[in-house]
Structure 1
């Protein structure tokens, strides 16, 4: 088995220079890096990553906490985070909390026990006062999730404004009895979306009645159940804003099966612009988040804090979103008729 000394001898360089290249340290010329990499390849030498990590006191691993990977948005986010982390020489482990407070705290122990170098929280279940002490063990960055005044870096879109724009779009399409569907968990994001939605309604002398607020809906099946509820109990509803494209797709599918015309009888807006929203008939109007940009900035900031041992100063990066208008809300061409 080849050793670092064998690599140094074949490359005609010192053992120290080889070590610097293996550990990605500066002040080595490109010519020497090429010689060393060629020597390692010829000898089949594989650096001992465990030893490198012990010397650097880093695991080169990042934990990402999220509710569930089956949600297409989080699946897309993980893929983007993993690709960017790899560019920096880091690997990602996925920690599904299923919105359980104790699981979230258990995963944060990975930071405290030095099993990961940093944590990305794509969702937040506990109160911040329970999370904050973990900052003493390493950097934490909020990605997608955010709060108002906490001393932690946050990367996200303006969910309040996005929900406002979605509601306003439904109103502009002629909807006058608009329902609101959400995941139900009282996160800061869910509260902000509801505020934005209600602001748009109030500006047009409308309001969100308790009967038109449907909570704890997460996937396609919940979307179908939501439509059945509206059909039986709120048949006059003519528009709905949902917290995900999955729910929106379930509503469109169930409504179409029951003979409701989308959007003439019911206009539907989703969230996240997943492929499912484009494949539905009709295609679903939705909010698109710049996932790749958010993921890239998140990894960049976190790795910078890890390598430079920064004290995690408060930084906020708010990215633009886009309301993508499709046929599920295009009510202008056909007048609504009584069902």
Structure 2
């Protein structure tokens, strides 16, 4: 079955031009318009009927894609988005990708078929080259995660690298020298998650350690995303010949698992092992000891992403660029 990309190649125009012709956009060169229509006829391309709605017709619906709705970080962001959406008479569709590239593409089709007016990506699985063509069908806003080389879209996030620099610096200033690091990972493959976010965080750790002339041991690098992963990592640390005296984690869930398992092994936090989380989930201040963690501004992030989406829906042009929100390190008892 021919696609819009096939039509564009056959007509010698861009996919956005084909999209404008299909939607009867007034600002299209007549020669290009004829070329597109000829290509559609010759290829037998039949546009999706729902995608041919009149310009200006709205569903008043926005899809939000997350990887793990059970993660309190995502549920807090979505709740903030919903508050703003409801105030403007929009509704949300929550799409849980479970870290699946094919599932993410399935949900992105909602935009192509005009079942939603826009999509907010709070997590990313596919490469941007695969996602970017969908921006032809409506606005896409990135919230939290940001792929490399993303262009033509607005990004709402924090300075991930600086956040990890601050966390690492704090541990060094407290006198810790053998500092381990935990990356978030792809739940399916159990390998390091390939994202600009993960790369920026790790580079913040590495640069700060090198500046302080402290060792970066491969045996002190772990992967995980959940409470159970945190428990596993603590047991791996216990087996190290030269144990780290502190660890930076990718989420409060991992940190919670570490602390719980440390207690079972009679390991004292922070005397035997200092632990730093990431997100500042509600549980962080309820742990014993209370968790030192990077505060992710979930409320502000969710609201900013939804306000950006509403602005894009009202405008003929799409916003782009990155909005960085403050993410301070909250120092508590685990360090």
- Normalising by the smaller structure, the TM-score range is 0.7 to 0.9
Per the TM alignment, residue 304 of structure 1 is displaced from its structure 2 partner at its CA by 1.4
1:284 aligns to what?
A: 291
Who is 1:324 aligned against?
Answer: 330
Q: Does 1:253 align with 2:260?
A: yes
The residue that corresponds to 2:310 in the other structure is 303
Matched with 2:172 is 171
Contact 1:167 1:197 in 2 (8 A): yes
Residues 1:192 and 1:234: Cα distance change in structure 2 (over 3 Å): farther
Distance 1:233 1:156 in 2: 35
Aligned to 1:20: none
The CA deviation string for residues 58-84 of structure 1, in whole angstroms up to 9 with x for no partner, is 111111111110111001111111111
- Give me the whole-angstrom Cα distance separating, in 1, the residues matched to 2:298 and 2:184: 20
Tell me by how many angstroms 1:147 deviates: 4.2
TM-score (norm 1): 0.78
Which residue number corresponds to residue 137 of structure 2?
137
Aligned to 1:63, what secondary structure does the other structure show?
A: strand
| 1:244 is aligned to 2:245 | no
Match of 1:264 in 2: 271
RMSD of equivalent CA atoms? 1.6
Deviation at 1:275, TM superposition (A): 1.4
* CA deviation string 1:248-286 (max 9, x = no partner): 011011112211111011000001111111111000000
Contact 2:128-2:148 within 8 A present in 1 as well: no
TM-score, structure 2 as length reference: 0.79
Superposition deviation, residue 170 in structure 1:
1.0
- Deviation larger for 313-322 or 117-126: 313-322
Aligned counterpart, 1:198: 206
CA distance in structure 2 between the partners assigned to 1:133 and 1:281 by the alignment: 48
| Bigger Rg, structure 1 or 2 | 1
User: Is 1:227 matched with 2:234?
Assistant: yes
Q: Secondary structure at the match of 1:313?
A: coil
2:127/2:147 contact within 8 Å kept: no
What is the count of residue pairs matched by the alignment?
275
Q: Which stretches of structure 1, 4 residues or longer, exceed 4 Å deviation after superposition?
A: 53-56
What is the alpha-carbon distance in structure 2 between the residues aligned to residue 71 and residue 196 of structure 1?
A: 24
